[in-house]
Chain A
Amino acid sequence: DAGVTQSPTHLIKTRGQHVTLRCSPISGHKSVSWYQQVLGQGPQFIFQYYEKEERGRGNFPDRFSARQFPNYSSELNVNALLLGDSALYLCASSLPQGVEEKLFFGSGTQLSVL
Chain B
Amino acid sequence: AQKITQTQPGMFVQEKEAVTLDCTYDTSDPSYGLFWYKQPSSGEMIFLIYQGSYDQQNATEGRYSLNFQKARKSANLVISASQLGDSAMYFCAMREVDPGNQFYFGTGTSLTVIP
Contact = CB atoms under 8 A, between A and B. Distances in A.
Interface of A: 33, 35, 40-45, 48, 55-58, 88, 90, 92, 98-108, 110
Report the contact-size class of chain B (Cβ under 8 Å from the partner): 20 to 34
Given A41-B108, A43-B45, A101-B101, 12 more contacts: A33-B103, A45-B103, A55-B100, A55-B101, A99-B32, A99-B33, A100-B33, A101-B33, A104-B47, A105-B44, A105-B45, A107-B43
Contacts, number: 67
Contact of B102 (A45, A92, A107): A45
B102 A100 contact: no
Nearest to A96: B101
A106 B45 CA distance: 7
19 contacts: A33-B103, A42-B106, A42-B107, A43-B105, A45-B103, A48-B101, A55-B100, A58-B102, A98-B33, A99-B33, A100-B50, A100-B52, A101-B95, A102-B47, A103-B45, A103-B103, A105-B37, A106-B44, A107-B43
